[in-house]
Structure 1
Amino acid sequence: MSGTSAGRAGKRGAEKGIELSDRYEVYPDQPLPFLNSPGCDAVAALDKRNPSLALFALICSRELAPRVDAVRSLSHVESSAFLTPRASGIITQASDQKRKFVIIFEQPRGERVQSEPSASFQPLSEDDLIRGVITPMVTNLRELGGRILAHRAIRADNIFTSGGSNQEIILGECVSSPAGYFQPVIYEPIDAGMSTPSGRGPGYISDDFYALGVLIAVLSHGGNPVPQLSDQEVVASKIAVGSYATLVGQARVSLKLMEALRGLLCDDPAERWNIMDLDLWANGRHLSPKQATLSAKAARAFEFDGEEYNTARGLSFAMGHNWSLAQETLRDDALEGWVRRSLSDEKCASAILKASRMSRMGGEGGGGQDKAVAGVLTALDHLAPIRYKSISARLDGLAQALAIDFDKDHVPQMISEVVRSKLHKSWIEVQPSMKPEYVPWIRQADIIESFVNRSRIGFGPERALYECNSSWPCLSPLLKNDFVNEGAELLPALERLAQDGIPDYVPMDRHIAAFSATRVKNLSERLFIQLAEPADKLQYNVSVLRLFSEIQRATGPEALPNTARWFAKLLGPITETYHFRSFRQQLSKGIEGATQSGDLAELLWLVDNENLRQQDEVGFAQAQNEFASIAGQITWHEDGALTSDAHVAAISQRASAVVSAVLASVSIAVMSFIYVT
């Protein structure tokens, strides 16, 4: 591999890469397929300060967003046994001008232990497993545990040989896609394996110890130990006989490895080995891992979908995969009777009876039926994830499922129904104990509920998505060619969108509104109320401009000329709503100036100026009154009223009265003069 890397370094010297952080260069036209991660393409990269260092970059997907928070946390880790991020950021691809989030790593010197999940390879010896795999993995898991971060991608096709004489493995990256999403089912604990990939959630450190146990089983076997089983059959087998029996079974394993495998593959997370147990075992201490506690078997089987089931957990798993038939099963008391008589579980039977009655009260296809089925599945198996229709998610996976599957049919609606029906709280109530790690996930589910209950723009499931997935990029279709995961990046993205031509549509949708409300601090709720209640189309556009002017004030940049031109085009008709020509001219000139400066607040002041509007209205009212008066006089003259008999008679009377008064005054004056003299 070193010769190949040297060849790439020489080629890079002659070509210009895409700069990242003023230090690195990324080469999207130079793929490195052997370093691809699921959902991400690997390409060559260069550290300009250390050109001899072999690097690669993973180009991440917007829809399956990277774990940006984990990238930041692990970028400070220096480890020779773990691929950790050296840098990350956004680049613009020259081929299609799409902006992508990329993560840069150092290239491992060796090859993947397993080329892909179904490949076979030479099994590792016990000594190679202990020294080359378990020892460095203990170091990695201790580092991750100290950061309260689960890897969630420990598997044989994500570890590399070191290329040195010690043959220690290097653990691959875990940050380029959502936690656990691409993990094969055999590496997942039972509850995570029952979940959809999107609903597995960030998970726990105990999940990584379980995956390490599966990794040891795979490496000692030389590949997947149960290739003949489908994913559903793997989970069903783990439920029936336990993970150890499913994955190890009768395989020949040394007593020392058997002890570690039993401890790591324990299906009870509370009894599963942790870092202290592994340390003790590695130092020669003999531990006695607790044997798997299997579900109680019924005295007689219950038939469902043509199969017979002897355990409540097995039946619950099967019913979750056939929702409509599960609804039919609740229409009589057969299931409740089986649990009460064959399993002697009065508590579970009472829960099922209550849910069955709710189902029958709900009617055909009612929401009550779906809630009843969910309740029955939880009663039959309290360790299983939350299941509702096609949703299957761990408590910590609800928010991630909302983000990943947001554009899939009815997923936001179904997750909304889950939290509105308090199914997450019902799940908590049947757990043997309240664990501290449940608290933040309960709070997160409550946050989802609080926003989905408010449907107006800026709220709803979109708001819940961004509130509960702090680094998830904005999923607005307007930004499909960009990667915007921070509030300060929103307006620059819209500015780029308008640089090649001003669109005809308004740069606003439910995603942009919810993203803004979440990622930009101190935005008034009033801004979103105005978006939801516009008087007309022009007022809606003004409301959008008002929101964006506040975002520009809070996050910058100072100049957004393309965005200003965009709004000037949308709001141009406002000038025609003014009556005075001088005002229209003044407004047009002001808009042109604001457009050039790119100041959205100035543009808003012009198009939403109450003083100017009031002056225009008052002046127009006065003009209307003057016009009406003049028009009345013109009409009066045109109608001949000036020479009409009535008007002439009235004028004559008034003239006679005036003349009489004048003559009388003169007569009095003359007589007074004569009398005095």
Structure 2
Amino acid sequence: MATADNSRDRMEQNTAPRPAAVKGGLHIPGTDFYIDPAAPLPEFSKPHAPAYSAFQAEGNKKFVALLTGKSVVPRFRQLSTVKTFFSPSLQQFHGGGAVLWPEDNIYYYACVFDKPRGKRIMDSPKDDLNLDISYEAAGKPLLTKFIEPAIQLLAELHKHDISHGAINLTNIYARPDFSTTGVLFGEFLSAPHSYEQNVIFEPVGRSLADPLGRGPAKDKHDLYALGACAALLALGKNPFKGAKNGEIIARKIEQGSYGALVGRERMPPGLAEFLRAVLNDDLSARWGLEDALKWMEGSRMTVKPARATAKAARSFQFGEHNYSYLRSLVTAMAKTPNMTAQVLKDKKLLQWLQRHISDKSTIANFERHFGSDKNPGENYDSPSLMVAHATIALDPDAPIRYKGLSVMPDGFGNALAHAVLHGEDNAPYLEILQYQLYNYWFEMQHIHLPDSAALVLEIEKARNFMKQKMVGRGFERGLYMLCKDMHCLSPTVRKFFIRDAAGLLAAFEQMAEDGKLPAIDGFFDRHIIAFLAVHEPQVIEPFLSLISSNNAGRRLTGLMHCFAAIQRKFDGGPAPQLIGWFIRNIRPALERIHDRRLRQKLFEQLQKMQDTQSFDTLLNVIDNPGVINADRKSFFAARTEFTVLQNERMHLQKLLAHRHTLGSDKGRQTAMLVSLGLSSLMILLSVLSYYHII
């Protein structure tokens, strides 16, 4: 996630006055760059991102802008870090922003990079190399101009907790005189990790996953890709020229990665040592970045021999083909779940494994659900779930394969985000969560994966949130938890490619300036609330009950509190247009004030604050605790007095309702008392007269 300083800079840029138009250029908001829509650069384009010439208003240097975000989600979280990162071996990133492309009237996220020197070493994975070299021709420069700079680059990126994830010969640039100049490794921000990687440059397990479901590349994955590139450069040709992905994977399974890439070609000892170490198909034996650095410094390193792919003495017939390699068989099984389910039920596969496969750990995994004492037909309602369990058990290095999906657990979020981005059916993804196939995948692993516990916990949290229906929870919350790079998909702000709370405030300020703010009940939908709850919970959760209220006044107050919290967190980015809109529509928020004269006074005070840039200043007027409490006390006192007067009024009304008899009871009582008094007086006088007292 971007730091507060980076987010504040972006807020200030996005809300700053727009620069004057430059002839022939489309401005990229938040930067001083312009794109020339009439100057495409097909030699730098990518399948997911067309390239165009970019420039600055001042200066003659030319840049390349890649238009991404339509088909894939860029690595938004790493933009700010990579922008400040410099290496002579890496294509420099200068900034980016959302642009409305005139050709198709669609918003893209434009990423600006240095224009690469030289040309791509390979135009496509099916082509041959553009450089007419081999190791003998290149000599030592292959190490000094390619391998060593690449290792140094990966080490520098690692210090920033970043991996490349796009090292392949279609993304590496060089001049024809390769032996005297270095190479430039292309950008990696415009697409998710490993999305651009052809199976040539991926280990077998990851190459079996969908490109969007491979998950983040680790240093061993980058080194594997580097080794594959170095092998092709040393050969001076592409041994897989014209081959399909399935053919390449099959050759790697049968021959091992080193054998498939290098074949019988003899490599100089130093290069051969490096290639065998980084192309090792056993992840635990493959060199990591620390090993590569030691090797580069001249230390003697141990290269563990690659574990040979076991070939069964007798093949297994599946469909119309016979398979001698278990991994090839499992790959075919994953594609035909109904046929595979039948094979699992009749136990023929179990018998073949026990007789012809020597990997006892894999057989033990398989027997947990498909042993001789198990009945898969009764234990599974779904053939797809049965096949998913079986393929994971038999090939734990491969991805989760379920109903046409093929995803690594740590690539699940990116794959789900892609499905949502394109409106695809997400039911299979939800079923993977429901059946907890990610948990099963980790249980089947032969080696301990350090990040497994944290990843499972995060997926479980997301799964639980998806079960809840309340605002701030639900599917949207789980989506943003699983894919932290996903920008906010609310229809209100989707075109702005919002990556954090600061960007959200800047987007609403821009909409206020353009006069395109939504109605108050459409300000924050489920997507915006869930997005903030994941990325900046402290600015949304304390005010969630207000924002989700059906009362317009409470909703207005909650929104202002949220925007004020964003301004405080990101150090006061101004929002005068948005605040002006709230002031003009403030009356519902003042309805909580009981004193009408005070309410009008506050309204008039607010109308004089049109130039205010801080939401806190606004809240000091409409949500001031002292004013609110004093108004409440006055209201309670007035209500008590009103109650007393109301009771007296009701009593008088009751009496007046019987005014024809009003006073008769009192009169009778008075007459009786007068009569009693007179009678008593007469008796007293009589007694006194009798006794001659008077």
Matches within 5 A, 1:298-313: 299-303=314-318, 305-313=319-327
Q: Which of 110, 115, 119 matches 1:107?
A: 115
Residue in structure 2 matching 1:508, options 514, 520, 524: 524
Which residue of structure 1 aligns with residue 357 of structure 2? Answer: 343
CA deviations 1:230-286 (Å, max 9, x no partner) are 323432332233334444557x66666777655554322344466766996999999
What is aligned with 1:386? 400
Cα offset, 1:450, TM superposition: 1.9
Residue of 291, 304, 312 corresponding to 1:297: 312
Counterpart amino acid of 1:160?
Y
2:133 is matched with 124
1:517 aligns with 2:526: no
Instruction: Report the 3-state secondary structure (helix = DSSP H, G, I; strand = E; otherwise coil) of the residue aligned with 2:489.
Output: coil
Does the aligned pair in 2 maintain the 1:374–1:387 contact within 8 Å?
Answer: yes
Which ranges of structure 2 fall in alignment gaps of 5 or more residues? 1-20
Deviation of the 1:567 alpha carbon: 5.8
| 1:67 equivalent among 45, 54, 75 | 75
Q: Identity over the aligned pairs, expressed in percent?
A: 24
CA distance in 2, matches of 1:652, 1:114: 118
Residue 292 of structure 1 deviates from its aligned partner by 5.4
Instruction: Name 2:511's counterpart in structure 1.
Output: 497
CA-CA distance at 1:194 after TM superposition? 0.8
Q: What residue number does 2:97 align with?
A: 90
What is the count of residue pairs matched by the alignment? 649
Q: What SS is found at the alignment partner of 1:318? A: helix
1:443 is aligned, of 436, 447, 454, to: 454
Unmatched 5+ stretches in structure 1? 1-11
Q: Which deviations, in whole Å up to 9, do the C-alpha atoms of 1:3-54 show, x marking residues without a partner? A: xxxxxxxxx99777747878x53334453413334433434444678x3544
The worse-fitting range, judged by mean Cα deviation, of 442-451 and 538-547 is 538-547
Q: 1:382 to 1:221 in 2, by over 3 A?
A: same
Where does residue 412 of structure 2 map in the other structure? 398
Write out aligned runs for 1:250-649 (5 A): 262-272=276-286, 290=305, 293-297=308-312, 299-303=314-318, 305-343=319-357, 348-356=362-370, 357=374, 359-365=376-382, 371-407=385-421, 418=432, 421=435, 423-434=437-448, 438-454=449-465, 455=468, 456-460=470-474, 462-467=476-481, 472-499=486-513, 500-504=515-519, 505-520=521-536, 522-523=538-539, 525-528=541-544, 534=549, 543-555=558-570, 557=572, 560-564=575-579, 582=597, 585=600, 589=604, 592=607, 597=612, 599=615, 601-602=619-620, 605=623, 612=631, 619=638, 630=649, 637=656, 641-643=658-660, 646-647=661-662, 649=664
Kindly provide the CA deviation profile for residues 268-310 of structure 1, in whole angstroms up to 9, marking residues without a partner as x. Answer: 234446676699699999998835511341534142x443333
**Offset at residue 517 of structure 1 (A):** 2.5
> Would you say 1:58 and 2:58 are equivalent positions?
no
Match of 2:4? none
SS at match of 1:56: strand
Contact 1:527 1:547 in 2 (8 A): yes
Counterpart amino acid of 1:88? G
Residue 172 of structure 2 is matched in structure 1 by 159
3-state DSSP class of the match of 1:439?
coil
Matches within 5 A, 1:124-273: 124-131=133-140, 133-138=142-147, 139-148=149-158, 149-162=162-175, 166-219=180-233, 224-249=238-263, 262-272=276-286
Task: Tell me how far 1:433 sits from its aligned partner.
Answer: 2.8
Q: CA offsets, 1:553-605, max 9 Å, x none?
A: 43364654554566678875566788875576457556656777462634762
Task: Report the Cα distance in structure 2 between the residues aligned to 1:320 and 1:618, rounded to whole angstroms.
Answer: 76
Deviations 1:111-156 (A, max 9, x none): 2233344444464233444455443222122221343243222222
Deviation at 1:432, TM superposition (A): 3.3
Secondary structure in 2 aligned to 1:453? helix
Distance across 2 between alignment mates of 1:488 and 1:669: 100
What is the one-letter code of the residue matched to 2:619? A
Cα distance per residue 1:621-671 (max 9 Å; x no partner): 86577568657756875x6x323xx55743542453476588789999999
Output the CA distance in 1 between the equivalents of 2:621 and 2:522: 16
Alignment CA distance shift 1:330-1:265 (3 Å): same
Deviation (angstroms), 1:380: 0.6
- Tell me which moved more, 137-146 or 518-527: 518-527
Residues 154, 211 of structure 1: 8 Å contact kept: yes
- CA–CA distance in 1 between the matches of 2:560 and 2:181? 60
Secondary structure of the equivalent of 1:301?
Answer: strand
What residue is the counterpart of 2:45 in the other structure? 36
Shift in alpha-carbon separation, 1:392–1:101, aligned structure 2, 3 A:
same
| 1:99 Cα deviation from its structure 2 partner | 7.8
TM-score (norm 1): 0.78
CA-atom RMSD in angstroms: 4.8
The Cα of 1:493 is off from its aligned counterpart by 1.5
Counterpart Cα distance in 1 of 2:381 and 2:437: 21
Query: 1:414 Cα deviation (Å)?
Result: 5.2
2:305 partner letter: K
Q: Does structure 2 conserve the Cα–Cα contact (< 8 Å) formed by 1:399 and 1:469?
A: yes
Q: Secondary structure at the match of 1:299?
A: strand
The answer on whether the counterparts of 1:302 and 1:310 sit within 8 Å (CA) in structure 2 is no
In the alignment, is the contact (CA less than 8 A) between 2:281 and 2:306 conserved in 1?
no
Task: Report how far residue 181 of structure 1 moved.
Answer: 0.8
Q: 1-side partners of 2:681 and 2:300: how far apart? A: 142
Residue 522 of structure 2 aligns to a residue whose secondary structure is coil
How far does the alpha carbon of each residue in 1:206-242 deviate from its partner, in whole angstroms, 9 at most, with x for none?
A: 2233223433454567765334443234323322333
